[in-house]
């Protein structure tokens, strides 16, 4: 088990093997500063790839009635050193009760969400409220805001 405040678990090859509940607990026990420090370079890439690989698993199909949107996730700091001007993009489509990864630019996004990797990790594990992240200017949303407001209810976050 990890000591409170330590993010050694982010260095391990086991990051991809953590279940949602354990990941949520580890994120909760790790300081914001430590998460930001660790989520750079190769660890950042692994964490982002894993988050978006798992997104379809956490979709709640029963809650998607009438929802059809392509979501562009722009994760800042891709150029290293935490520079906000460079981004990694991950595109998802939620349609007919399914969530699929899309190729960036295949169709124009209905919703664009921009944030840093730490805020993203804290939101998807249920350790940060996305509305508060917007109010704190750590997450920005453009496009169809009515559809974007439904996103937190479409996906399970944190321990189930």
Using DSSP's 3-state secondary structure scheme, residue 52 falls into helix
Region 34-49: mean pLDDT is 82
- Give the tens place of pLDDT for each residue, 77-130: 876 555 556 899 999 999 999 999 998 888 899 999 999 999 999 998 889 999
- CATH numbers and ranges of domains, the chain: 12-154 (3.30.1050.10)
DSSP secondary-structure letter at 112? E
- Give the pLDDT score at 117: 92
**Whole-angstrom Cα distance, residue 9 to residue 11?**
5
Q: What angle do CA 132, 152, 85 make, to 5 degrees?
A: 60
Helix (H) or strand (E) holding 3: none
Mean pLDDT of the chain: 84
Give the contacts of 45 (CB within 8 A, at least 6 positions apart): 88
- Give the tens place of pLDDT for each residue, 10-38: 665 666 767 777 777 888 888 888 888 87
Helices within the chain (DSSP H only): 20-29, 32-38, 41-54, 117-124, 130-135, 145-154
**Whole-angstrom Cα distance, residue 154 to residue 16?**
23
């Amino acid at each position: 088990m990890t000591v409170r405040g330590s993010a050694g678990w982010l260095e391990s090859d086991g990051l991809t093997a953590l279940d949602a509940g354990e990941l949520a607990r580890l994120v909760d026990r790790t300081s914001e500063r430590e998460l930001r420090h660790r989520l750079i370079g190769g660890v950042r890439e692994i964490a982002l790839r894993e988050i978006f690989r798992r997104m379809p698993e956490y979709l709640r199909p029963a809650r998607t009635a009438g929802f059809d949107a392509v979501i562009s996730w722009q994760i800042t700091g891709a150029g290293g050193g935490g520079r906000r001007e460079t981004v990694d993009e991950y595109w998802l489509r939620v349609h007919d009760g399914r969530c699929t990864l899309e190729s960036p630019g295949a169709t124009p996004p209905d919703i664009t969400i921009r944030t840093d990797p730490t805020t993203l990790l804290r939101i998807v594990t249920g350790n940060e409220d996305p509305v508060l992240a917007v109010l704190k200017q750590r997450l920005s949303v453009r496009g169809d805001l009515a559809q974007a407001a439904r996103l937190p209810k479409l996906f399970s976050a944190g321990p189930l």
